[in-house]
Structure 1
Amino acid sequence: MFSLQTIFGQGNQFYTLLEEAAAAGHESAKALHAMLKAADREPALSAFKLARQRERTASEKISQALVNSFITPIEREDIEALGSALYKIPKQIEKFADRYSLATQHLGHIDFAPRAAMLEQASGVVVEMVKTLRSMKLEPMKELNDKLRAIENEADRLMLELYRDIYSGKLDHLQMFLLKEFFEILEKAIDRCREAGVVAYEIVLKNS
């Protein structure tokens, strides 16, 4: 027979691994913001590789723990869904960094830092949401969900401003292409944060 200590111990294992995965995404977002607000904007891809590796390690441990554990603190499908959503955050950020390193010479006039700051904020909220799973308290999770939604709405507003710049006629074709591509990658990264937040919020809704 499983003791309560064993059950809670297994629960802590999953929560800890999910928190590690969320933290990896936040580290990646912080690295991106730091890079884009630096004077030289010189890509240092090692920071993104390390964050992705940390997330991969957490993801692999989650998958293995699901195989080995008879009892989980929340439904297995929810753990898998949240783990998958968290996995996509640093992956999307690394995609931006990799492509940015190839096109730096064409992007010196474009300021990505404000959007990267919003991505850092969004990934930070996701970290707090994942931590809140331990208590399964609805009100704090709802506040965080509302905060994440507000960040997403502001990102959408900034995207409209972007399209005004694209259609202004002041940019050449290459600038238009790069501006659209890189801002859409950032927008999708924020969407990935929002998706992870929705999963976390729905888990608390079901279990509170």
Structure 2
Amino acid sequence: MFSLQTIFGQGNQFYTLLEESAVAARDSAHALHEMLKVADRQPALDAFKLARLQQRDVSSKISQELVDSFITPIEREDIEALGSALYKIPKQIEKFADRYALALQHLEHIDFTPRAAMLEQAAEVVVEMVRLLPKMKLAPMKVLSDKLRALENEADRLMLELYRDIYSGKLDPLQMFLLKEFFEILEKAIDRCREAGVVAYEIVLKNS
């Protein structure tokens, strides 16, 4: 049943739902960073499953609101694009966590925490950007966009260092494979944060 508030409201519920989605992504990144700090034990995956369930729930609510609402605060395509970009962040993080749990015995001497910390920072910036959306102010959004780009550039630099280690000849074939695979998953997760940030920035650029 449609309510008058749903039909003729200002559509601010979309900002709330997008923020919930961004927070779920940030929580997933935080859980990964905390998990990797205690790499000497079998990781618990409950936090990642919960974050993904929260993302699915929010994504479904956004889709339903787009059907039910006549008025949206920004273009429907932008809401869908940002929601989709946010949805992909915890999906990538859960992929890392699941595989890490399976390969833990082969990863004892590999420290992923610096990259995981960078991912958590990127996810936190995304939360800040989404929270800024209702204000539609370009200057503070650009500051956050530049910060996110800097994190992505630093992640790219670290990947180049990683490839130097891989091709140094000091690692056995299995270590080389695992090192490359897991760091590329982390890099892609940071890229997902950057993609969400780009969408948020472009929304403000169009509407400010």
TM-score for the superposition, normalised by structure 2: 0.95
Give CA-to-partner distance per residue, 1:118-164, whole Å, 9 cap, x none: 00000000000000001000001000000000000000000011001
Tell me which of 7, 24, 31 is aligned to 2:9. 7
1:35 matched to which residue of 2? Answer: 35
Which residue does the alignment assign to 2:25?
25
What's the counterpart of residue 94 of structure 2?
94
> What is the CA distance between 1:85 and its match in structure 2?
0.2
Change (3 A) 1:188 1:135: same
For 1:114, the equivalent position in structure 2 comes to 114
Q: Secondary structure of the residue that 2:135 maps to in structure 1?
A: coil
Provide Cα deviations, 1:14-69, integer angstroms capped at 9, x if missing partner: 00000000000000000000000125253110000001111111100000000000
Q: Is the 8 A contact 1:35 1:42 kept in 2?
A: no
Give yes or no for contact 2:22–2:126 (8 Å, CA) kept in 1: yes
The amino acid that maps onto 1:201 is Y
CA distance in 2 between partners of 1:155 and 1:41 (Å) = 26
Residue 72 of structure 1 corresponds to which residue in structure 2? 72
Which consecutive residues of structure 2, in runs of 5 or more, have no partner in the other structure? none
Q: 1:7 Cα shift?
A: 3.1
The match for 2:188 is 188
- Equivalent pair of 2:115/2:155 in contact (CA under 8 Å): yes
Count how many residue pairs are aligned between Structure 1 and Structure 2: 203
Q: Which runs of 4+ in 1 moved over 4 A?
A: none
TM-fit CA distance, 1:180: 0.0
Code of the residue aligned with 1:158 in structure 2: it is: L
What SS is found at the alignment partner of 1:72? coil
Q: Does 1:128 align with 2:163?
A: no
Larger mean CA deviation between 31-40 and 47-56 belongs to 31-40
- Per-residue CA distance 1:162-205 (angstroms, 9 max, x = gap): 00110010000000000000000000000000000000000000
- Residue pair 1:22, 1:86 contacting (<8 A) in 2 also: yes
**CA 1:105/1:144 → structure 2, altered by over 3 Å: closer, same or farther?**
same
Measured in 2, the distance between the counterparts of 1:160 and 1:56 equals 34
Please, what is the CA RMSD of the aligned residues? 1.1
Q: TM-score under structure 1 normalisation?
A: 0.95
Percent identity, aligned pairs only?
81
